[in-house]
Amino acid sequence: MDFYDIPVLPRKGEETTLREYAGKVLLIVNTATGCGLTPQYEELEQMYRRHKEQGFEILDFPCNQFMEQAKGDDEQINSFCTARYDTTFPRFKKIEVNGPGAVPLFRYLKEQKPQGTAAKGKWFMSMMIRISSFFNRKSSEQGDIRWNFTKFLVDREGHVVERFEPTVTAEQIEPAIEKLL
């Protein structure tokens, strides 16, 4: 399957594909509004504004699978993100990233990069995510996403270049993005 033919559901509107993002560097993130990592929205937005004109996009996919930390409907989630963090990058409908309900995009991303790069110096937080994920039972298959704010970096040709674990910050990812831009 061609990456750009993968179906996605915009926050508003009918099913479409990723075709409109062909030729851009993408950071695809599963997010949540009630998570300890939710403040990452602020640094993601700052990075988005710095690089958008160079052909960079962040695609935000809210997910409620991890301790139900993305409560509310799509409009409530969007309102929260725009009011609290002034986000301007595209946000899609709430999805599932693991299990039988996982959307095709995240099944593809996990297949391409089943393991992620961990954050340097954040071993305690990474361990807590692993423990929480185990008890949450939403991450049991090889390659499954363990928590909110897992990030996938995609180059301009639609190749999944890297997967970053939730505690990896925008500042730590930015050099890899700049290299692709």
At 104, which CATH number? Answer: 3.40.30.10
Q: How far is CA 38 from CA 13, 16, 98, 114, in A?
A: 26, 27, 20, 23
* CA 32 – CA 74 distance, rounded (Å): 11
Model confidence band, residue 124 (pLDDT cutoffs 50, 70, 90): very low
pLDDT (tens digit per residue) in 6-24:
999 999 989 999 999 999 9
The boundaries of the domain holding residue 10 are: 3-180
- Give the residue numbers marked as catalytic: 35
Model confidence band, residue 134 (pLDDT cutoffs 50, 70, 90): low
Model confidence band, residue 96 (pLDDT cutoffs 50, 70, 90): very high
User: Count of domains in the chain?
Assistant: 1
Model confidence band, residue 80 (pLDDT cutoffs 50, 70, 90): very high
As beta bridge partners, residue 16 has 8
